[in-house]
Amino acid sequence: MARVTQLLIHAENKPGTLARICSELAAVAVNISAVMAAPDEAGAIRIVAAPLPTACKVLDSLKLSYHEEDAVAVRLTDRPGALGKVTRKLADKGINITYCYGSIVKGDHRALIIMGVSDVDKAADIV
């Protein structure tokens, strides 16, 4: 698994908020490789974006509250049981998964999964 830095953005949960953030990031060529918007968490939006320093500058210019947090990322084959195998490895090492989100592009054979875990360093060492 790879260690990643994601941004946890606190933004008002209203129409256009996510569109504004995504549009402003795109305007300066920031690529979002993963996103999770969870309105139940008081407008919390998690993104994995590159380049990260540019993304932070955009959020600062939008006067949005955010902070960086560590997570792990894994690319999994798109087949039954792939996610189960990796989550079992984490469980066997006593690592708790606090959240998980991911996506797959139609026609691609691998999914990108982002996980918040109780021990990022330990999880990053798992193959």
Query: For tokens 């504004």, what's the residue?
Result: 20
Structure tokens at 46: 């998690």
**pTM of the entire predicted model:** 0.85
**Domain 2-69 part of CATH 3.40.50.300:** no
Distant-in-sequence, close-in-space partners of 127: CB < 8 Å, separation ≥ 6:
1
* Residue ranges of domains in the chain: 2-69, 71-124
Nearest Cα neighbor of 108 from 75, 74, 85 is: 75
Expressed in percent and rounded to 5, the helix, strand and coil fractions of the chain are 30, 40, 25
Quote the pLDDT of residue 127: 66
Q: For the domain bounded by 71-124, which CATH number is listed? A: 3.30.70.260
Q: Does the pLDDT at position 47 exceed 90?
A: yes
Cα–Cα distances (Å) from 15 to 39, 77, 89, 105, in that order, read 12, 35, 39, 26
Whether 110 and 33 have beta carbons less than 8 Å apart is answered as: no
Question: Letter for the amino acid at 10?
Answer: H
Classify residue 73 by its DSSP letter: E
In this predicted model, what pLDDT tens digit does every residue of 19-42 receive, in sequence order?
999 999 999 999 999 999 876 666
Name the average pLDDT for the chain: 91
